[in-house]
Amino acid sequence: MAEQAMWSGTISFSLVAIPVNLVMAAESGRVSFRLLHGKDYSPLVRRMVCPKEETIIPPDEIIRGYEIGPGKYVLITDEELESVSPERSRTIEIVEFIDIKEVDSIYYDHPYYLVPAKGGEKSYRLLVEVMHRTNKAGLAKFVMGEREYLVAIKSTEGVLALITLHYSDEILHDEDISPKGVNVDEDEKRRMKKNIKERMAEFRPDKYANERRKKILALLKKKVKEKAPVKAPELEEEEGEGPPDLMAALEESMRKVKKRP
């Protein structure tokens, strides 16, 4: 699979360990645009600005605060956050198996595929088939980046999918939504049922498409043909366009130096 792995490790439960790579299963259908300066087409960059001093704030002066009231903050350091972050881990530990139908789709957050890594093909295949036949899904916790996720691992069309789930306290309350004290008579129920039945179909997602995305892409294609694209001016890094002072320039250079492997 050409898709870049976002994580790699093993799925494990009891004595089973299957090496896998995690890849995205869906991408946002958004067409993304760059924001440009209308005068000279320079791509714009984001800078953190202090509204009081009206100056750009260098990274070493930026700290985190949790807002507890208007204008009131509790400060928290990177070290403190680090101390409560989960330990990095290379396993997806399946703690229990559940009936996937029991998981309300409200809980579904983001879908991924699990791709078998070298040596894991056979047990992967086995898990896919058994989960498919029994209609069961594994419930697991796993750590990616700095977060611990609750996930469901299920079999879908011959592969394993991993769906990150919302934690129950992330689901917003629905008590007030359902209208109270309203009686529905049997006739109305029957009519509604009939209505639905007439529109029953198989789920065929390929019948639908993101029409706006299609139109935007068609429009862009047409514009590229009609007119040469505008060009951003080359940045003169030596003078003017660069960071405003020596310290900012040093900070920026240091960040780049440290990024190199």
Binding residues for another protein (CB under 8 A): 60, 237-238, 242-243, 245-254, 256-258, 260
Per the rule left: phi > 0, alpha: psi between -120 and 50, beta: everything else, 149 is beta
Q: 52 vs 259, which CB is nearer to another protein?
A: 259
Smallest separation, CB 246 to another protein (Å)? 4
Judge residue 25's burial from the number of C-beta atoms within 10 Å of its C-beta, 0-12 exposed, 13-18 middle, 19 or more buried.
middle
Smallest separation, CB 256 to another protein (Å)? 6
Q: 224 vs 254, which CB is nearer to another protein?
A: 254
Q: 50 vs 249, which CB is nearer to another protein?
A: 249
Number of neighbours of residue 222 by Cβ within 10 angstroms: 10
Q: 67 vs 238, which CB is nearer to another protein?
A: 238
Smallest separation, CB 248 to another protein (Å)? 8
Q: Count CA atoms within 13 Å of residue 23 on its CB side.
A: 15
Smallest separation, CB 60 to another protein (Å)? 8
Q: 103 vs 248, which CB is nearer to another protein?
A: 248
192, containing H or E segment: helix 186-198
Chain centroid offset of residue 105 CA = 16
Q: Output the six-digit token pair for 146.
A: 């700095």
Smallest separation, CB 85 to another protein (Å)? 22
Please give the full DSSP string across 22-37, using - where no structure is assigned.
EEES----PPP---B-
Q: Which residue type, as a one-letter code, is found at position 256?
A: K
The single residue listed with the structure tokens 């940045």 is 235
> Contact 109/166 with Cβ under 8 angstroms?
yes
Q: 43 vs 242, which CB is nearer to another protein?
A: 242
Smallest separation, CB 50 to another protein (Å)? 21
> Contact 93/20 with Cβ under 8 angstroms?
no
- Direct distance between the N- and C-terminal alpha carbons of the chain, in angstroms, rounded to an integer: 26
Name the nearest CA neighbour of 41 among 199, 217, 229.
229
Q: 58 vs 86, which CB is nearer to another protein?
A: 58
